Chain A
Amino acid sequence: MKVTRTIKHPQLQETVHLATAANGLQVALIPTPGFHTAAAHFGLRFGGNDLKFIMPGDHECEVPTGSAHYLEHKLFEGREEKVFDRFNRLGADFNGGTSFCTTTYYFSTANNFDECLEVLVDFVQYPLITDERVDKERGIIEQEVRMYQDSPGYRGTFLLHEAMYETHAVRVGPGGTLADVARINATDLQHCYDGFYVPQAMRLVLAGDFDVDDVLKKLQPLLRDDNPASAKRVSDDATSARATDWLEEEFAVTRPHVFIGYPQKKMRVDGQDRLHQRIVASLVIDLMFGKSSELRQKLYEAEIVDDSFGAYWSSDESWGHVIMSGVCDAPKSFVADISGECKEFIANKIKSEDFERLRKAAWGGIVSGLQTPSAIASSVLSSMLSGNEIFSALDELQSISLDELQSAAEDMFDESKRAVAVLMPLKSD
């Protein structure tokens, strides 16, 4: 395996080398001279949203919610020895993560990098999934799902997803429902593995103070030889119908927690376009709701919001939304006041000086986010799985115009699509 392309980014002062293995696996290596730790992040584009897919040979599969997350847990079981034990012997920090759209496995270590890489590549490539092993993990996963269910932020967000989307898989968290966790079996997980854990669909990113050619030479014999076809994802269309404009639930909170969502009409499919869209949306949200915004200050001084108020953007190929949330006494007037102020802000047009100041801050944030080998590897893997050019966020940031930002702000807050979820205090409290 040889380096086929090198990308140098002078402003970030980072260089990434790209290579493709014979089995189709794409590998990125980032030398980080002088750092004590080295990191590896191994991931694929398969996550909690992927409940329906077509296997090679046109066999259609449907799996319960939480399957991708359950599979991540199962891979850590290893074949002959638990992965925990193997990494622990080497002293590494390690973990895995399942989001709506991706699954990643990673480690960071100050010692035994080659051995850790061997463990990572081995356990992800060669799992053993049996019903007995799947059953054994069920209690642990149920405890993890239940842990999240005590969080108002988590529950409120997914109640809002249920309001915003009538049918999409994003209605349920990547961990799945407790009912689905109870029925996931080895066949479900094997289908997920066979369909998506194929070399051509996976990406491996390594960052550390190492010799690139030496690492590639050691990596090659660790990789599986076959290169089977990948399953085709069948994504729900989230841009169609809103389930309801207002959803309430009683929850163990002191005051109402309100979540306001604006699903987006159209999402960009191309990875680079999606990155651009994400940066634009984040700038709009910062301009409107960041601490430097007049809108936020007005809401704060009027005591409509306090410091619990926040807003963020989240998206993938088939869905995207802005979510605002806060704690208040009167949810209906809270929502009406915020919506009214948003309309006024957008009508008044974004000021050039506000935009340029925010762009400067975003520039600093992007540069300084790439501070450690593990952070760099994570960022590069995210770019590769999203299909955008590595280290291109600064260029995208520079390419944004004030007109584009204004136009995006006008599109993002469509009142006809707005949905609200409220966690109301328990009546018995």
Chain B
Amino acid sequence: MAFLQTIPEFHDPATGVKLIGVADQRFKRALVEVLFELPLDASRAARSLLLDVLEQGSAQFPSRIALARELQNLYGASCEVYSERSCEAHRVGLQVSCLGQQFLPPGEGVLLPALDLISGVLFEPLRGDSGELFNMSYIKRERSNLLDMLAERKDNRSAYAAERFRSVMCAEEEYGKLSWESSAAVAELSCEQLEAARLEIINDAAVTIVCSGAIDVQAVAEWAQRQFASKTRAVDIVAPSESFPAELRHVNEHLAMEQAKLHIGLRLNLPQEIVDREALIMACSILGGGSHGRLFQIIREQKSLAYGIYSRLHGRKHILSVDAGIDAGAAKEVEDEVFKQIELLANEGPSEIEMQLAQANRLNGLAALADSPAAMSNFYHSAYILGLETTPHDRAQACLQLSVEQVQQAASNWQPDLVYLLSAAE
């Protein structure tokens, strides 16, 4: 099995701007993400509404239709602006995906025009007809749409349960905050606050540009140099907080729903060494990382209590969670089994066959990411954030050398924090 040994290109096109590029002409599309990171502070409500207002057009393409039509002219390039909570920071993202040069008629290029189009909405926004900062009727409409969307998020039971789990478990931490702050905060935003938020994104955010696929990294670096020429500073994003529970908590909330959603949260120490991280990934995988995991085998295959039950690590945050859709009446049985398996893993370690299955799964995942521009971007960006100079090949080597004891050790510091159940009222 071959693993990617590519070390990405790193560029520093401007102050506070890092570019990570992995060009690969096997792909038909190019992918570029411009990520602006800021603290999850009081401006996040303004940033959330701002992006909806910015999508109404730019100085060059002064309407939603004009933006959409230009993207069609660029052979169906897709551009997206979004904001989200990224661990304990607030992220504003501009994403461009477009056809690679080798599939275009000679002389045509779509990547740089697409980048100019999407950055135009942020850097040269559409102003009001009479010189106002933004068109006030757009702000009114987009605010109303955003408030509706926030009110309706309960309609997606799975996503809402995951949100509530995080908010309850990390109520005192940045990780528990909503990325839009609150509906009340959105309702009170002024035009001036939106403009201040826009300038803050441009001037103060730490910027990472990640590009992969059928791309010319140098051309993106030159574009970034032009785009961020006036940038002189970038905020520091603080490391995620660590919090360990005094005791296990149980929270049961109710909504009208057919299937209950169970989330179990555990705290852990996130190791800094690659080999220790691989041990942690393996331990999580053995617990519930897929159809080879203990929880899938026992809860689904032996007991038929869930269609799916999986464990996952929360990126940079020191949390592991187990998530399942179940009958509310089976919640206690599932919870007991989850904790029993965690205890067994910590006390007795994994079996040889569990090690082999988790290793095969991990190695296949590491090898396969070479075939996905998005997966490559994600891998190298995560490594950069974590301060790890690593390739899929390095990770595979670390994984191959793991012992049963190292994986057992990784599972031994998981501390149960919260059992959260969203279910229909009895």
Q: Determine the residue in chain A with the shortest Cβ distance to B2.
A: A36
Cα–Cα distance between A367 and B97 once the two chains are bound (Å): 13
Q: Contacts of B156 on A, CB cut-off 8 Å?
A: 151
Asked if A78 CB lies within 8 Å of chain B CBs, one says no
Q: Contacts of B290 on A, CB cut-off 8 Å?
A: 88
Cα–Cα distance between A90 and B359 once the two chains are bound (Å): 10
Cα–Cα distance between A140 and B259 once the two chains are bound (Å): 13
User: Interface segment, A47-55, A228-236, A270-278, A353-361?
Assistant: A353-361
Asked if B151 CB lies within 8 Å of chain A CBs, one says yes
Q: Contacts of B65 on A, CB cut-off 8 Å?
A: 291-294, 297
Q: Mark B142-161, 1 if CB is under 8 A from A, else 0.
A: 00110011011011111000
Known: A150-B258, A303-B141, A361-B71. A89 touches B356 (CB 8 A): yes
Asked if A216 CB lies within 8 Å of chain B CBs, one says no
Closest-CB distance, B61 to chain A (whole angstroms): 11
Asked if A56 CB lies within 8 Å of chain B CBs, one says no
Asked if B306 CB lies within 8 Å of chain A CBs, one says yes
Is B367 touching A36 in the complex (CB atoms < 8 A)?
yes
Asked if B73 CB lies within 8 Å of chain A CBs, one says yes
Q: Contacts of B291 on A, CB cut-off 8 Å?
A: 84, 88
Is B155 touching A34 in the complex (CB atoms < 8 A)?
no
User: Interface segment, B22-30, B202-210, B239-247?
Assistant: B22-30
Is A110 touching B257 in the complex (CB atoms < 8 A)?
no
Q: Determine the residue in chain A with the shortest Cβ distance to B367.
A: A110
B76 touches which of A297, A307, A360, A428 (Cβ 8 Å): A360
A371 touches which of B27, B151, B363 (Cβ 8 Å): B27
B152 touches which of A92, A255, A373 (Cβ 8 Å): A255
Q: Contacts of A292 on B, CB cut-off 8 Å?
A: 65, 68-69, 71-72
Q: Determine the residue in chain A with the shortest Cβ distance to B361.
A: A91
Closest-CB distance, B399 to chain A (whole angstroms): 11
Q: Contacts of B151 on A, CB cut-off 8 Å?
A: 254-255
Q: Determine the residue in chain A with the shortest Cβ distance to B261.
A: A150
Asked if B292 CB lies within 8 Å of chain A CBs, one says yes
A306 touches which of B98, B145, B361 (Cβ 8 Å): B145
CB-CB contacts below 8 Å: B351-375 with A: 356-357, 359-361, 363-364, 367-368, 370-372
Number of contacting residues on B, CB 8 A? 66
Closest-CB distance, A277 to chain B (whole angstroms): 21
Is A357 touching B256 in the complex (CB atoms < 8 A)?
no
CB-CB contacts below 8 Å: A361-383 with B: 361-365, 367-368, 370-373
Q: Contacts of B367 on A, CB cut-off 8 Å?
A: 36-37, 110-111
Asked if B184 CB lies within 8 Å of chain A CBs, one says no
Cα–Cα distance between A333 and B256 once the two chains are bound (Å): 28
Q: Determine the residue in chain B with the shortest Cβ distance to A76.
A: B291
Asked if B300 CB lies within 8 Å of chain A CBs, one says yes
Q: Contacts of B15 on A, CB cut-off 8 Å?
A: none
Cα–Cα distance between A377 and B374 once the two chains are bound (Å): 19
Asked if A24 CB lies within 8 Å of chain B CBs, one says no
CB-CB contacts below 8 Å: B58-86 with A: 63-65, 67-69, 71-77
Known: A111-B367, A297-B64. A371 touches B28 (CB 8 A): yes
Q: Determine the residue in chain B with the shortest Cβ distance to A328.
A: B148
Closest-CB distance, A86 to chain B (whole angstroms): 11
Known: A84-B292, A152-B155, A367-B28. A255 touches B148 (CB 8 A): yes
Asked if A93 CB lies within 8 Å of chain B CBs, one says yes
Is B360 touching A90 in the complex (CB atoms < 8 A)?
yes
Q: Contacts of A368 on B, CB cut-off 8 Å?
A: 28-29, 76, 99-100, 103
Asked if B325 CB lies within 8 Å of chain A CBs, one says yes
Q: Contacts of A111 on B, CB cut-off 8 Å?
A: 1, 360, 363-364, 367
Closest-CB distance, B262 to chain A (whole angstroms): 12
Number of contacting residues on A, CB 8 A? 68
Q: Contacts of A98 on B, CB cut-off 8 Å?
A: none
Known: A36-B368, A292-B65, A361-B72. A254 touches B155 (CB 8 A): yes
Is B155 touching A140 in the complex (CB atoms < 8 A)?
no
Asked if A252 CB lies within 8 Å of chain B CBs, one says yes
Closest-CB distance, A178 to chain B (whole angstroms): 10
Closest-CB distance, A127 to chain B (whole angstroms): 17
A357 touches which of B73, B258, B327 (Cβ 8 Å): B73
B370 touches which of A36, A85, A91, A365 (Cβ 8 Å): A36
Asked if B347 CB lies within 8 Å of chain A CBs, one says no
Cα–Cα distance between A300 and B63 once the two chains are bound (Å): 12
User: Interface segment, A62-70, A141-149, A181-189, A191-199?
Assistant: A141-149
Cα–Cα distance between A11 and B102 once the two chains are bound (Å): 10
How many A-B contacts if CB must be within 8 Å?
175
Asked if A41 CB lies within 8 Å of chain B CBs, one says no
Closest-CB distance, A219 to chain B (whole angstroms): 22
Cα–Cα distance between A109 and B364 once the two chains are bound (Å): 7
Known: A35-B371, A252-B257. A143 touches B306 (CB 8 A): yes
Q: Determine the residue in chain B with the shortest Cβ distance to A91.
A: B360
Is B72 touching A91 in the complex (CB atoms < 8 A)?
no
Q: Determine the residue in chain A with the shortest Cβ distance to B302.
A: A136
Is A306 touching B256 in the complex (CB atoms < 8 A)?
no
Q: Contacts of A428 on B, CB cut-off 8 Å?
A: 256
Known: A82-B301, A150-B259, A291-B64. A143 touches B372 (CB 8 A): no
Q: Contacts of A138 on B, CB cut-off 8 Å?
A: 304
Cα–Cα distance between A89 and B360 once the two chains are bound (Å): 7
Cα–Cα distance between A308 and B152 once the two chains are bound (Å): 11
Q: Contacts of B73 on A, CB cut-off 8 Å?
A: 357, 360-361
Cα–Cα distance between A139 and B73 once the two chains are bound (Å): 50
Asked if A290 CB lies within 8 Å of chain B CBs, one says yes
Q: Contacts of B325 on A, CB cut-off 8 Å?
A: 143, 146-147
Asked if B418 CB lies within 8 Å of chain A CBs, one says no
Closest-CB distance, B16 to chain A (whole angstroms): 32
Q: Mark A146-177, 1 if CB is under 8 A from B, else 0.
A: 11011110000000000000000000000000
A147 touches which of B4, B99, B259, B300 (Cβ 8 Å): B259
Cα–Cα distance between A254 and B300 once the two chains are bound (Å): 32
Closest-CB distance, B99 to chain A (whole angstroms): 5
Asked if A426 CB lies within 8 Å of chain B CBs, one says yes
Can you report 23 A-B residue pairs in the complex whose CB atoms are below 8 A from each other? A13-B103, A36-B2, A36-B4, A36-B370, A37-B368, A84-B291, A88-B361, A110-B2, A111-B1, A111-B360, A144-B307, A149-B258, A152-B155, A254-B152, A291-B67, A292-B65, A294-B65, A307-B145, A327-B152, A357-B72, A361-B72, A362-B76, A429-B256
Extra pairs beyond A89-B360, A143-B325 (15, CB < 8 Å): A252-B157, A255-B148, A291-B65, A292-B72, A293-B65, A297-B65, A301-B141, A307-B149, A308-B149, A361-B73, A364-B77, A365-B76, A368-B103, A426-B256, A428-B256
Binding site for B on A (CB under 8 A): 11, 13, 34-37, 82, 84-85, 88-93, 108-111, 136-141, 143-144, 146-147, 149-152, 252-255, 257, 290-294, 297, 300-301, 303, 306-308, 327, 357-358, 360-365, 367-368, 370-373, 426, 428-429
| Complex A-B, nearest 10 residue pairs according to Cβ-Cβ distance, in ascending order | A139-B304, A91-B360, A110-B367, A364-B75, A364-B76, A361-B76, A91-B364, A292-B68, A361-B72, A291-B68
